[in-house]
Structure 1
Amino acid sequence: MLIDNHGRPINYLRLAVTDRCNLRCFYCMPHEGIDFLPKTHLLSFEEMLRLIGLLAEMGISKVRITGGEPFVRKELMAFLWKISEIEGIQKINLTTNGVLTAPYVPELKQLGISSINLSLDSLDRKRFFEMTRRDELPNVLKTFDAILENDIPLKINSVMMAGKNEEDIFGLVDLAKNHPVGIRFIEEMPFNGEGEKPEYFMSYKKIIETIKAKHTTLYKISDEANSTSYNYKIEGFEGTIGVIAAFSRTFCGTCNRLRITPTGDFKTCLYADSEMNLRDMLRAGLSNQEIKEKLQASILHRAKDGFEAEAGRKDAISESMTTIGG
């Protein structure tokens, strides 16, 4: 088992398979987009599989595939099947924006995907376009329906912003009324590709207060171990409501996650600088044991929380979330 320098067990890897995305969400990247990297700069699937195998030997049992948008990368399903064959990997999870995902949902069910997180910030087509700069809501809703039809555990991730989509909060909450889904509202973060502080910030406390003003039967339920969200139920609702204090960073004390970016940067915290570049190590011919020793050493110098990690950066935050992994 991997244990960091603060005594926290580490068993969860978030792996971004691409920096490319077919949406242009304004809180994630500038209007003109970002400069996507040449394919040769990205980890190959073979390199990713080697790293997952090494980390599985060290104690990682859960892998979440993120992007960018994972389904923008060709041959993703074949890659997921290969992950499922790695000894020690017990859960494969997926985060997607749903634009391209619907046709793959039956195969994801066959694969045994543990759960899917679907990004959805608005149910209003006009506001969805304003948020994402793309008119893709119908395709996202097709994915929503397909996931439910195939009985795959589903969570909706919504970045909630004052003056932008806060009027969508109740429509999104209502999705949990008759569907077994977890609706999770996320605080806006500064990973917008320009280094700007969250401009339309709504705290997790404000989000819950807003929901409770209408749904007075909202009550707290227990959170799973290592949960990033505070979770709630509304009487009579089939699903759950959650809030993720991504900017307030209240969940760091139980963080069990590591990150690998599409280019192989290894991060022990979302807010931290890259610890090292695993792509370069692989291509330089380092042995499996040498890479494992470097991973272990990095994990033993992990920041206590996101604030300490941010304070220790060489430069201010300027990345887009799509280059880190959502």
Structure 2
Amino acid sequence: MLTDEFGRRFFYLRLSVTDVCNFRCNYCLPDGYQCTGAQARKRPLSVAEVRTVVRAFASLGTEKVRITGGEPSLRRDLPDLIAATSGAAGIRRVAITSNGYRLASEIDRWRDAGLDQLNVSVDSLDPHQFERITGHHKLEKALRGIERALELGVETKVNTVLLREYNLGEYHKFLQWVQATPVTLRFIELMRTGDNRSFFASNHVSGGDIEKRLLRDGWERLTRHRSAGPAREYRHPDYAGRIGLITPYSKDFCADCNRLRMSAQGALHLCLFAEQGIDLREAIVGGDHRALAELIRAAVSGKTAGHQLAGGRAGATRNLAMLGG
């Protein structure tokens, strides 16, 4: 079992397959994707290399893999990546995070390849506000994809980054949607990165304020599964869907961390906001998953107790597309 010196056990891998994104979200890539730096110029891991990574993590007790980006659907071989992941012995759950751009046309193929869970970014339910945030008039397409995923029985979650100047006023509209739609809507605190300091200052909203509203209105907190992500989830008897909160600025947020990250170029990141990744590409290309597993085990011993976001330090994370958040 993969365990660090603080006793945290790691059941969950967030695996980036590209750092390219076709959206221009104002909190992440307001100027669009820029191919800069030596890492960005390296080719992303191939299907065979992803298989090696997943086998290594599975041998260390990882049960869940989330495929992220950038935008993973920009890779034409995404169904093969999903199949390579779901086919690894010990992996019980394969998830993907997407902006929904190709969801309606591709979700059937992803499900057939072995996808269990889907997360879709929807930062506004108003088409004009959605375009203002993302740079694309694609809300209807994303919602159609979500509808199809639900028809297929794919567990679906929706990610909404809380933005004071853009979507905070839609709180009740989001809840009305969840009342009739069986998704888990997760409100995510805006995180400060190397590229969004002034935007963060004017738009950050504390998830604690949302939690107070939920508890006041009769929402009940659910028990978190050991391979679940960082969200605290809530249910209400009058709602078809659920609400989740991801609050990285809350006290002890890192105390029960259960996840590690691998970049699209083969760097292991012990934290989203670590100062740097650990380059394992050579071992990955070598194809020996057992040797790779030993390198991962050794690296995890250096994981720190927590991030330094509250102190304004975002580490090497320039933007969230680098590792999928």
TM-score by length of 1: 0.89
* 1:81–1:54 Cα change, 3 Å: same
Q: Give the counterpart of 1:105 among 100, 104, 107.
A: 107
1:121-200 equivalent positions in 2, closer than 5 A: 121-191=123-193, 193-194=195-196, 198-199=200-201, 200=203
Amino acid at match of 1:297: A
Question: Matched residues in 1 for 2:309 and 2:187: separation?
Answer: 24
Q: Give the counterpart of 2:208 among 205, 210, 213.
A: 205
* 1:146–1:39 Cα change, 3 Å: farther
Q: Secondary structure of the equivalent of 1:99? A: coil
Amino acid at match of 1:8: R
Amino acid at match of 1:208: E
Paired position in structure 2 for 1:96: 98
Question: Matched residues in 2 for 1:38 and 1:9: separation?
Answer: 30
Unaligned runs of at least 5 residues, structure 1: none
| Post-superposition CA distance 1:269-295 (Å, at most 9, x none) | 111123411224445x58544432221
* 1:221–1:44 Cα change, 3 Å: closer
Paired position in structure 2 for 1:300: 301
Paired position in structure 2 for 1:323: 322
Amino acid at match of 1:322: A
Question: Matched residues in 1 for 2:173 and 2:144: separation?
Answer: 17
1:1-326 equivalent positions in 2, closer than 5 A: 1-35=1-35, 40-191=42-193, 193-194=195-196, 198-199=200-201, 200-210=203-213, 216-225=217-226, 227-248=229-250, 250-283=252-285, 285=286, 288-307=289-308, 316-326=315-325
Q: CA RMSD in A?
A: 2.6
Q: Is contact 1:195-1:319 (8 Å) kept?
A: no
Amino acid at match of 2:206: S
TM-score by length of 2: 0.89
Question: Matched residues in 1 for 2:7 and 2:215: separation?
Answer: 36
CA drift of 1:67 comes to 0.6
| Post-superposition CA distance 1:128-180 (Å, at most 9, x none) | 01100111112111111111111211111100111221112222222221222
Unaligned runs of at least 5 residues, structure 2: none
Question: Matched residues in 2 for 1:139 and 1:193: separation?
Answer: 29
* 1:268–1:251 Cα change, 3 Å: same
Q: Is contact 2:157-2:185 (8 Å) kept?
A: yes
* 1:97–1:223 Cα change, 3 Å: same
Q: Secondary structure of the equivalent of 1:52? A: helix
Aligned residues: 321
Question: Matched residues in 1 for 2:98 and 2:257: separation?
Answer: 22
| Post-superposition CA distance 1:49-83 (Å, at most 9, x none) | 11111221122121100111110111111221122
Amino acid at match of 1:320: N
Question: Matched residues in 2 for 1:246 and 1:87: separation?
Answer: 32
Question: Matched residues in 1 for 2:311 and 2:288: separation?
Answer: 31
Amino acid at match of 2:81: F
Q: Secondary structure of the equivalent of 2:175? A: helix
Question: Matched residues in 1 for 2:317 and 2:114: separation?
Answer: 36
Question: Matched residues in 1 for 2:249 and 2:267: separation?
Answer: 22
